[in-house]
Amino acid sequence: MVVLFVIGIVPGFVAAFVGRWAAEGMAGGHDLRAVISVSDSTTTEGQDGPHVAYETLAVTEDGRALELPTGKAFGLAEPVVVRLSSLTGRVLSVRGAAGIVEVHHPGEKIAAMSIGGALLVLGAVVVFSAVRPVTARKSLWFLAGFAFAAYVVLAPLGFGATAYREAAEPVPNLWEHRREAWGPPPVIGKGQAAVSGESAVRVLESRSEPPEGAEVWLSGFHVLTLRIEASRMGDTALELSADEHGAPRRVKDCAGVPGAFDGSTGLVCFVVPPGYQPKYLVVGKLDREVLLTLQ
């Protein structure tokens, strides 16, 4: 009888996983703005060599904690948009300034799991047939194993847990750490040109919204758009100062907008964390770092 219980577990697991993935794919989801508050990893030694386990947590706009199964894709204090399943509350995807991590791949995963499930069920039927005659009692043992596996997969305390966690770690203020490490750089007044090495940058306009013509995904973030003019930029870095809300990230080519910065003039876009107040445009790195006041 125990053999039938174990046999029932296999198709139960497969059916629950496939059913949940299919339902999540059809039910759609909703987006939440958040900021990475924990980005850590633990390395353990195993039989096949080192194994790295990643822990990534984010804080939403309303202060809730989310666990993100994204590995090391996003950095500490980085603004992200998390898409959660409207049905199960699990993470479907996470997008940052540099790209998106798809956690839910319904087509390919359901197909693979369905094929594997069919083979497993076929094997279970063969074994089940070998213990004939099939009685009601034997069937109940099989169904009990099936139900047990489905419960483990779907129950909130098992593999069916949502992305929400009880407590949120505060977002670290990377700006304070940076200033402690490198000291205060020169500060240039608003409207003036900031010179770093041979590069010079001046902000002509600042807007707290995505530029017209940018890709649709950018509208899911809080965005700061700067129109700047510069000379001899080369590979001189441009970034926004961080604060207690998080660290803004620059968006490559302003997400495809016409008129993006071409090295001499144009638009520069940053995704910023909720509650962020722009203070400085940081021009250059390390000993060449110069702060250009924005407000």
Nearest residue to 281 via CA among 231, 224, 234:
224
Domain ranges of the chain: 1-170, 174-293
Tens digit of each residue's pLDDT (9 = 90 or more) over 123-139: 666 655 655 565 667 67
Dist CA 94 CA 102 (whole Å):
7
Residue 179 makes CB contacts below 8 A (sequence gap 6+) with: none
The tokens describing 92, both together, are 């479907």
- What is the signed CA dihedral for 207, 93, 96, 247, rounded to 10 degrees? 90
157-202: per-residue pLDDT in tens?
555 667 888 877 899 999 998 988 888 999 999 999 999 999 999 9
Single-letter amino acid, residue 176: E
The CATH number given to 174-293 is 2.60.40.1240
pLDDT over 70 (residue 153):
no
**pTM greater than 0.95 (yes/no):** no
Q: What whole-number distance in Å separates Cα of residue 64 and Cα of residue 32?
A: 10
Q: Residue 37 is inside which H or E element, if any?
A: strand 29-46
Q: Using only C-alpha atoms, what is the Rg of the chain?
A: 26
Residue type, 65: A
Question: What spatial distance separates the first Cα and last Cα of the chain, rounded to whole Å?
Answer: 74
| Distance of alpha carbon 130 from alpha carbon 150, whole angstroms | 24
pLDDT digits (tens, 9 = 90+) for 14-56: 777 777 777 777 778 899 999 999 999 888 887 777 888 888 9
On whether the CB atoms of residues 58 and 82 are closer than 8 A, the answer is yes
- pLDDT tens for 78-122 read 999 999 988 888 899 999 999 999 887 655 555 655 666 665 666
